[in-house]
Amino acid sequence: MKIYLASVSPRRKSLLRKAGIKIQVIEPDYEEKNNARLSPLALTKKHALGKAFSAAHKIKQGILISADTVVYLNGKILGKPKNRRHALKMLLNLCGKWHQVVTGVVLLKIENGKIRKKIVFSETSSVYLNSLNNNEIQKYFKQVNPLDKAGAYAAQSDHFGLVREIRGSFTNVVGLPMEKLKNKLDVLK
């Protein structure tokens, strides 16, 4: 069965391809709006569902994967930074602390253009970032574009030794909890 990804994230695409999962990318027609009243789990699931349903009508037959990832620190959800100044502030706030990375995932099995099965799940990992000063973060941003990443950092390209420790799924921190995803895909096939 053909597998589709409702995401333009190069990290998610790369994770799936490295796992040997052939995909076709479909850009979702969904605009994320962060709702401060929702928990990180509820918000990521809501966004993943929105992305999935906005792309499902483009598929006649197959399995559709969608996901959303946020960083959560001290009761506050951090999405993608608005600009470099916001990214700097965000990363300075995360450095030297534990925070959580939460990903909501939706799988839809589509047959004859209709959704036949839906699986919704989430994964949470904890991450500790080493302390970096303003100048070190600016150098880091020359290596890693912070604007398309929740929390303004990339665990998979760990320049400057930014990530000290990850508790839980590493691939979740990158953007897609592959261990859980593979198990759920087996259920749908």
Tell me which amino acid residue 133 is.
Answer: N
The residue that leads in pLDDT, 34 or 65, is 65
29 as an active site residue: the answer is no
Measured CA angle at 16 (ends 50, 162), to 5 deg: 90
Instruction: Report the length, in residues, of the chain.
Output: 189
Q: Which of 37-46, 81-90, 118-127, 137-146 has the lowest mean pLDDT?
A: 137-146
Q: Looking at the whole model, is its pTM more than 0.95?
A: no
pLDDT at 159 over 70: no
- The residue from 29, 68, 158, 186 that is catalytic is 68
DSSP 58-123: T-SSEEEEEEEEEEEETTEEE-S-SSHHHHHHHHHHHBTSEEEEEEEEEEEEEETTEEEEEEEEEE
Q: How far apart are CA 112 and CA 185, in angstroms?
A: 19
In order of their start, the domains of the chain are 3-188 (3.90.950.10)
174 backbone dihedrals φ, ψ, rounded to 5°: -75, -30
DSSP 164-184: EEEES-HHHHHT--HHHHHHH
